Structure 1
Amino acid sequence: MDFNYTAEQDALRDSVKRFVEREYDWEKRFAIIRSAQGVAPDHWSAFAELGWLGAGLAEDAGGFGGSAVENALIAEELGRGLVTEPFAAHVLATQLLSAIGTDEALALLTELVMAEKRIAPALQEPNGRGDWRIVETHANPPESPPRLTGTKSLVDCAIYADSFMVSARNGKDTNLYLVNANETGVNLHPYRTLDNRHVCDIHLNNAPAQLLATGKHADQAIALAVDHAIVTLCGEALGIMDTALWTTRDYLKVRKQFGTAIGNFQILQHRMADMMIEVEMTRSALFHALGAMDGNDAARAAAVSAAKVQASTGGLFVGQQAIQLHGGIGVTEELNISHHYRRLFVIARQLGDADLHLARFAQATDRVKKADAD
């Protein structure tokens, strides 16, 4: 197996790295997270001009011929700078539209890639606790024009989205709908998460909607798109973990106690070794998931959930150890290491926590074994 990136992928990584170094130094990031929307007004259009918004899409879907690998690469470098732009949410929205595949969906997809429109995917609900498969939002009877009632939670980029892609029940089926943000019956409750991201709960009260996909087609589109988004989050977690690891290493080399750098203490070296193991295990799990993205549904789900479990548990371990090794200064707002931990804490719970994905991994593995036996 070849785990080396192509020349084009290396160039993509370098372009993201240069952008983060230029636009996301620590002072600029503080100004951004303290702003009204929590993002820089011109950064998203820059993402589009640089080709990042379509890098992970096939050419026939309006992208630039890439795959989940490109999205993970971009997210990894954005994670190193703790960039607040909702890139994983964009991946989820574009992959949903790509999987739906209708002319109308592909037209919307083109607008997203060009940053002409923002569509926020709204799949999670309060009672689901991160499980996008639990859907209580419902549509009215099928013979009527679609109108939705229910609540969607933790919707990223909702405050500046033009519309929302909403999952809702219609009888026994889960359908996908497009809801205009300015429609009557749509109410937003904005708030900040622990990592200073701006999200919303969306309360729908008989809100007019446009049907995008129904039944099995919608289920398959959601499953594939969520796996793409999870892999993107794992890439971001890897970038954050790797940065936290080496930032901590640098601190241990200069912080002195008893007349020597504390990095010389063997017990702290052991902790650093444990942190590095978690980083490399996350990298390996991510590579495995990327390799399974073109496989069958069960194998893909198992690999993606395994990567999410490792990124969640390993990310929390690395973040906690980084703070511990920095001492009291590690929990201060002014030091970047506390912000690394906050983002890793949120990623560990986005689109399902470790317990949910352990169960999903077990179920998917059983399906793979059964298919092999047949």
Structure 2
Amino acid sequence: MAKLVLNEEERMLADSARAFLDDAAPVKHLRDLRDAGRTHDAGLWKEMAGMGWAGILVPESAGGADMGHAAAGLLAGEMGKTLVASPFLSSAVIAATALRQVSDKRAAEALAAIASGEATYALAIDEGPKFAPEATQMEARREGNGFRLSGRKTFVVDGGFADRLLVLARTGDGLTLFDLPGERAGITREARAMIDSRDAARVTFDAVEATGEDVLGQVDGAMAVLKPALEAGQAALAAELSGLAAGAFGMTVGYLKERRQFGMLIGQFQALQHRAADLWCQTEVTASAILHAGRQLDADPANATLAVSLAKARATETAKHAVIEGVQMHGGIGMTDAFDMGFFMKRARVGAEWLGDYGYHAEQVARLRGF
């Protein structure tokens, strides 16, 4: 069984990430972006790429670091602590994992572009209010040697600014994954800021032309490429939510040590101590589940679904618990926009829905355990 403790290399990665993000992307950075009407910082992403983060899952032959999913989770977790807005999950994790499933020159070039920070990706699969890739209805109609894509995708995270789109469409009785440039004729993107001040888009495809070169993997064989990519994204998103919970917990404990009421620190009240201790226990158990999911993806990706869904379900609930406790224990200021806890609450809500909510992953866990 994989050890659920960090090795020296992983500790160094986490420490260096924390040092960089505390300086370059504290929570105030997200607030400043929001107040300026922006959803991402291209300059910050270039810096991350320069540190090798964009290539964390890219093979060394394509200019990446190839450190694995557990390492990617560590970076995502550190980003979660200060709510860093970046295309890390969409590009460096989901797209990179999808492209790694394909062995051809085009995929290798795309991986190199991701690692260098020259290309960003967004995943266009959702069509309804809930995550359900197998229920995709958008049509890719055969036309000669190619296809015409028509339909609409919603909740395309980073879709407003991404250079390329991974698009899931139905081809006859199967599903096919397409790798398309975001500016191709017939694609219309309606970018909008979500409640967490991040970018998402509604993307409309009006008879968009796609050739065999645009197919990622095999026609009617999308899930062979997409399933590993989705699970990599789910594990990394769970890690971000776990980091978010740790960040909210740290803010709350700091407040308990400073706020005085009735002539004493409120952190001396036993009821609040019990609540803080319970939250700490929850964050630690969830962190173990996150690391286990990363280890499973690295060691046995074909059988990692249970570990990944368990991690995403736990992280969703832990993040929710952390922000609710944070707001309540901060009292009235916890509900004001002037205080940062609200940013944590909003990101936790979006993260809970993206790539499958608690119910979706709980059902996966139950099914895989034979219930």
Same fold judged by TM-score > 0.5?
yes
By relative contact order (CA 8 Å, sep 6+), the higher-ranking structure is 2
Note if 1:300 corresponds to 2:331: no
Give 1:216 shift: 6.5
User: How well do the aligned residues superpose, as a CA RMSD in angstroms?
Assistant: 1.9
Shift of 1:153: 1.3
- 2:229 maps to 225
Letter of the 1:55 partner, please give it.
Answer: I
C-alpha distance in structure 1 between counterparts of 2:37 and 2:264, whole Å: 45
Q: Distance in 2 between matches of 1:43 and 1:292?
A: 30
TM-score scaled to structure 2, two decimals? 0.93
Which residue in 2 is equivalent to 1:48?
Answer: 49
Q: 1:253 aligns with which of 257, 262, 277?
A: 257
Q: Is the 8 A contact 2:235 2:308 kept in 1?
A: yes
Choose from 246, 255, 265 the match for 1:242. Answer: 246
Task: Specify the alignment match of 2:349 in structure 1.
Answer: 345
Q: Partners of 2:10 and 2:102 in 1: how far apart?
A: 27
1:213–1:298: structure 2 CA closer, same or farther, 3 Å change rule? closer
> Structure 1 residues 229 and 6, CA, compared in 2 at 3 Å: closer, same or farther?
same
Q: Is the 8 A contact 1:68 1:293 kept in 2?
A: yes
Paired letter, 1:300: A
- Work out whether residues 58 and 115 of structure 2, in 8 Å CA contact, stay in contact via their aligned partners in 1: no
Q: Deviations over 1:258-301 (max 9, x none)?
A: 11111111111111122112101211211221222145566311
Give the drift of 1:131.
Answer: 2.4
Is the alpha carbon distance of 1:357 and 1:298 closer, same or farther for their aligned partners in structure 2, counting shifts above 3 Å?
farther
Hey, what does 1:31 align to over in structure 2? 32
Q: Which residue pairs with 1:203 in the alignment? A: 204
Tell me, in whole angstroms, the C-alpha distance in 1 between the residues paired with 2:79 and 2:300: 29
SS in 2 for 1:146: strand
8 Å CA contact retained: 1:302, 1:364: yes
Q: Which amino acid aligns with 1:311?
A: A
Task: After superposition, give the CA deviation of every residue in 1:312-363 in whole Å (9 maximum; x if it has no partner).
Answer: 1111111111111111100111211111111111111110101111112223
Q: Relative to structure 1, is the Cα distance of residues 130 and 195 closer, same or farther in structure 2, using a 3 angstrom cutoff?
A: same
Tell me, in whole angstroms, the C-alpha distance in 1 between the residues paired with 2:28 and 2:301: 44
8 A contact 2:241–2:319 mirrored in 1: yes
Shift in Å, 1:172: 1.2
CA distance 1:59–1:26, change in 2 (3 Å): closer
- The aligned counterpart of 1:102 is 104
Shift of 1:50: 0.5
1:162: which partner in 2? Answer: 163
In the alignment, the residues of structure 2 paired with residue 36 and residue 340 of structure 1 have an alpha-carbon distance, to the nearest angstrom, of 18
1:9: Cα distance to partner? 2.2
Q: How many residues were matched structurally?
A: 366
284, 290, 297: which is aligned to 2:294?
Answer: 290
Give percent identity, aligned residues only.
28
| 1:61 CA displacement | 5.5
Aligned-residue offset at 1:86: 2.4
* TM-score normalized by the length of structure 1: 0.92
CA distance 1:4–1:278, change in 2 (3 Å): closer
Unaligned runs of 5+ in 1: 370-374
The residue aligned with 1:115 is 117
SS at 1:254 equivalent: coil
DSSP-derived class of the 1:174 partner: strand
Deviates most, 277-286 or 138-147: 138-147
What's the CA shift for 1:58? 3.5
